[in-house]
């Protein structure tokens, strides 16, 4: 019986863990490319959810598959726009404090825009990824399966992209040394725009996948955004495999924690781990220090 409960907790923790992993990937690639921590990333996830659910599904009545493609395309364009208009100017600011505040304000603008465009009332998408699959006595919601599958695909695709394609390699150059990359004829600005667009696409994927788990409102992604930060640090900051490991670690551990501490304090686990890791092992689980 207990074993079953544990397996059940692990399986549902795994799905959220993958979400945290994606969140930390999404901000890590921006951090690596620009040196900026994107404090508006949770709002980008929220925007992804709203564009998909609010705009394409509810308003325009599109089929989910069509809506997914449309959302991804919209968010890609939006990413390029934000990168050109906001991230590139901020990157050149004298003090990182300014850049942090810039992204914070961007988040505020995104929230307010969503409030103006789609209203502040929480809503859901009925029937989207609903239902469960039973394996023995273990109940797995379809949404969790979708999350695990899609995340695995995204993670693999990113690895392939960064390791094999010319563009991905150029992005890695930009991450390591911008001056040298410029001298080698890589367009750093364009590259950063693309990285941010890519991040926006991942954000929209996260936004779509969490719809079955939460109701859609303006703060839908606040908690996963913050826990994504924790995941990145716990895995090893600025290091993609670390981001994945950290995300899954938190997802499973916080679910298992309900066995020993009151469920109410489940959300604290990620932050306590964050602080413990920062003080005791800042290089993270995988021991990678930038």
Q: Give contact residues for another protein (rule: CB under 8 A).
A: 31, 37, 39, 86, 89-90, 92-98, 100-102, 104-109, 112-113, 115-116, 222, 226, 229-230, 233, 237, 262, 264-265, 267-268, 271-272, 274-275, 278-279, 282
| Contact between 6 and 235 (Cβ < 8 Å) | no
Which C-beta is closer to another protein: that of 74 or that of 227?
Answer: 227
User: Which residues, listed in sequence order, are joined to residue 133 by a DSSP beta bridge?
Assistant: 140
Measured between alpha carbons, how far apart are the two ends of the chain, in Å? 44
Q: Is the dihedral of CA 147, 195, 111, 73 positive or negative?
A: negative
State the nearest-atom distance from the C-beta of 126 to another protein, in Å: 28
**Secondary structure class of 219 (helix, strand, coil):** coil
Distances (CA, A) of 220 to 110, 165, 251: 13, 34, 17
Which C-beta is closer to another protein: that of 6 or that of 272?
Answer: 272
State the nearest-atom distance from the C-beta of 194 to another protein, in Å: 21
User: CB-hemisphere CA count at 13 Å for 177?
Assistant: 6
User: Which residues, listed in sequence order, are joined to residue 139 by a DSSP beta bridge?
Assistant: 134
Which C-beta is closer to another protein: that of 165 or that of 215?
Answer: 215
State the nearest-atom distance from the C-beta of 257 to another protein, in Å: 13
State the nearest-atom distance from the C-beta of 179 to another protein, in Å: 11
Which C-beta is closer to another protein: that of 81 or that of 93?
Answer: 93
């Amino acid at each position: 019986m207990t074993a079953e409960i544990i397996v059940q907790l692990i399986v549902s923790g795994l799905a959220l863990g993958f979400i945290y992993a994606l969140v930390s990937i999404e901000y890590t690639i921006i951090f690596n490319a620009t040196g900026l921590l994107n404090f508006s990333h949770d709002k980008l996830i929220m925007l992804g959810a709203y564009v998909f659910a609010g705009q394409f599904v509810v308003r325009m009545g599109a089929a989910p598959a069509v809506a997914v493609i449309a959302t991804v395309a919209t968010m890609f364009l939006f990413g390029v726009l934000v990168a050109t208009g906001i991230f590139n100017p901020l990157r050149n600011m004298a003090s990182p404090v300014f850049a942090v505040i810039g992204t914070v304000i961007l988040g505020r603008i995104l929230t307010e825009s969503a409030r103006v465009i789609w209203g502040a009332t929480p809503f859901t998408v009925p029937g989207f990824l609903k239902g469960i699959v039973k394996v023995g006595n273990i109940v797995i919601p379809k949404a969790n399966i979708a999350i695990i599958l899609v995340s695995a695909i995204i993670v693999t695709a990113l690895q392939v992209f960064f390791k094999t394609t010319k563009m991905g390699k150029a992005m890695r150059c930009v991450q390591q040394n911008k001056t040298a990359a410029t001298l080698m004829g890589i367009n750093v600005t364009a590259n950063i725009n693309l990285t941010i667009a890519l991040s926006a696409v991942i954000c929209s994927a996260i936004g779509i996948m969490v719809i079955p788990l939460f109701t859609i409102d303006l703060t839908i992604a606040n908690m996963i955004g913050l826990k994504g930060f924790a995941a990145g640090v716990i895995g090893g900051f600025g290091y993609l495999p670390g981001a994945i490991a950290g995300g899954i670690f938190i997802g499973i551990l916080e679910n298992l924690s309900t066995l020993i501490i009151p469920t109410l304090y489940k959300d604290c686990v990620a932050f306590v781990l964050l602080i413990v890791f920062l003080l005791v092992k800042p290089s993270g689980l995988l021991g990678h220090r930038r």
